[in-house]
Amino acid sequence: MYLPESVIICEQGARDGIQTVPEFIPTAKKIELINALSETGAPFIEVASFVNPRVIPQLRDGREVLAGIVKRPGVKYIGVVPNAEGARRAAEAGCDEIGIFFSASDSHNRHNVNMSTEDSIRGLAGVMDISRDAGIPVYAGIATCFGCPYEGDVPPKRVAWAIESVVKMGAYRVVLGDTTGMANPRQVEELMSFLLQRFPDTPINIHIHDNRGMGLACILAALQVGVTRFDSSVGGLGGSPTPGAMGNVCSEDLVHMLHELGVETGMDLDKLIACARIAGELTGRSTHSHVLKAGKRSDLVRSC
Amino acid sequence: MYLPESVIICEQGARDGIQTVPEFIPTAKKIELINALSETGAPFIEVASFVNPRVIPQLRDGREVLAGIVKRPGVKYIGVVPNAEGARRAAEAGCDEIGIFFSASDSHNRHNVNMSTEDSIRGLAGVMDISRDAGIPVYAGIATCFGCPYEGDVPPKRVAWAIESVVKMGAYRVVLGDTTGMANPRQVEELMSFLLQRFPDTPINIHIHDNRGMGLACILAALQVGVTRFDSSVGGLGGSPTPGAMGNVCSEDLVHMLHELGVETGMDLDKLIACARIAGELTGRSTHSHVLKAGKRSDLVRSC
């Protein structure tokens, strides 16, 4: 089985995860989680959204979160923005990287922001200007790359067109979203083989959801064709607000699998499991984590 | 991605699943679940254990269950037995196939039945005699093939020795158990490549547990090297009584993945999801099913 030697994890729990928790989580609790995540060795941590606080009130304290955390050297702390105004606030707050979002499929994009994908991409120019001036790199998150709830399959060429468009505008990497958990391993293999060949110089993350239990199987298929960048969320927190959605792939389950496979992550799994415990406590929900409940394979052998 | 055209599912929910539910489930409820499972197209259904009713009181009604179900032609209804006395009862009750169990690793086998693996295998002669006389085929379930909680890794040659031994004694197929959820995809690929090559004429099932969330990823790895027989449990019911165990791979999540991959199962996924609902109701527990909560991918697209 071909597998890469090492991969890069981008931790989503403190942003995409908390975003879907109905209650407002106090700023100090968010800071506690992010500081704990910083100690795990995760090289990228999404920490805030600079959107309209009326749209996502759970993340209205992005500035205070950024001001309160202890930044660990080498870790990129990422803020997500919808527009130039958000980019300005994210830059002022001290984000190391900015994320912007749109959907590969027109109908999903129209459903979310009432404009075509093309218009959304064109509208990113303002974000790019501000980021360039502030010297902050931008990633583009592209939703519905593995399927759209309105259109079904999304053609690989459409995804390629979206990537090409945002890279031309200045995005240094892209994140392909499995927004409603529609990816399957064969499709992931086919799409990612095509895209890695077509964009050898663009870092491509995949952001897989576990709605239908295939999350880690999809990541296994991606690893086998050379994908080395994965989004995941501590405790499996968050995910799209689609009915029945089980949320993001769980970080500690993913890192546990990678370590069992002999793939390096640079992360401390015990510290990550401790973060999953914190995440469960602060959201007041049982997490979708397996490893938090069952423990690591190596712990089982040692304990018997 | 190489994948087989079709696979065979052996449904575990009504036996391995119910076995770990602390309360006794009324016989009529068990019959209702088995009858519903018979309509899904599952070709093998484990329905009872003929063990000491003091050891597993939950399954003390094996005879009544077999007498009460509507047997669907073509479906094999399986009873699990620990010894010759159990085999006699299973044959009398009308089982179409008998399952026997032992562990590949000596220390796990000693922990369970206080004898070596070799002695356990030798002790199967009585079961084989009764089954042969009754004309009932026997499968051998071999536990800890993917790791032992006491010994850690179990050498592939040890597993091969166990398979060879029971096939010589008359088992027509074997089921390799991931008893405490220790399998990982790379290991599954390596072990199964080795075994499929070594035993081209012996049907080999794998019985993967999902304790650490890697169940479907392990099955994906197995499919890629040509494994075509999988055990799974409706609703993800059951599994080993190991602390933290999340139970068997969930049948409806597995069948959903297989169908998305284009691998035939001969099963009706909607009927299987209905069984998962029954399983949840009769055990009074929320299941580990993803697809029961999120629905099929195809339903999502149709509903939007």
- Position B245 pLDDT exceeds 70: no
pLDDT digits (tens, 9 = 90+) for A132-177: 999 999 999 999 999 999 999 999 999 999 999 999 999 999 999 9
- Position B240 pLDDT exceeds 70: no
Q: What is the pLDDT of residue A152?
A: 95
Q: What is the pLDDT of residue B84?
A: 96
- DSSP assigned state of A57: G
Q: Where are chain B's structural domains?
A: 8-303
Per the CB < 8 Å rule, is B295 touching A186?
A: no
What is the ipTM, given to two decimal places?
0.96
Supply the mean pLDDT for chain B. 94
Question: Which of B212, B262, B301 comes nearest A256 by C-beta?
Answer: B212
Q: What is the pLDDT of residue A21?
A: 85
- Position B136 pLDDT exceeds 90: yes
Q: What is the pLDDT of residue B243?
A: 52
CATH of A8-303, one of 3.20.20.70, 1.10.760.10, 2.130.10.10, 3.20.170.30: 3.20.20.70
Q: Which helix (H) or strand (E) holds A97?
A: strand A97-103
Residues from chain A contacting residue B290 (CB–CB below 8 Å): 210-213, 246
CA B14 to chain A, closest CA, distance in angstroms equals: 22
Residue A115 has which token pair? 């404009």
Residue B99 has which token pair? 């399952």
What is the rounded distance in angstroms from the CA atom of residue A250 to the CA atom of residue A287?
A: 9
Per the CB < 8 Å rule, is B212 touching A304?
A: no
CA B175 to chain A, closest CA, distance in angstroms equals: 22
Per the CB < 8 Å rule, is B1 touching A186?
A: yes
Question: Which of A186, A190, A261 comes nearest B184 by C-beta?
Answer: A261
Instruction: Give ∠ CA A263-A268-A270 in degrees, rounded to 5.
Output: 115
Question: Please, which pLDDT band fits residue A241 given cuts at 50, 70 and 90?
Answer: low
What is the rounded distance in angstroms from the CA atom of residue A49 to the CA atom of residue A46?
A: 9
Q: Which helix (H) or strand (E) holds B32?
A: helix B27-38
Per the CB < 8 Å rule, is B1 touching A181?
A: no
- Position A101 pLDDT exceeds 60: yes
Q: What is the pLDDT of residue B81?
A: 97
Supply the mean pLDDT for chain A. 94
Give the pLDDT mean for A114-128: 97
How many Cβ contacts (< 8 angstroms) between chains A and B? 145
| B286 or B184, higher pLDDT | B184
Q: What is the pLDDT of residue A243?
A: 52
CA B8 to chain A, closest CA, distance in angstroms equals: 19
- Position A285 pLDDT exceeds 90: no
- Contact (CB, 8 A) for B115 and B122: no
- Position B175 pLDDT exceeds 80: yes
Give the pLDDT mean for A224-239: 94
Helix, strand, or coil (residue B28): helix
Residues from chain A contacting residue B297 (CB–CB below 8 Å): 147, 181-182, 184, 212
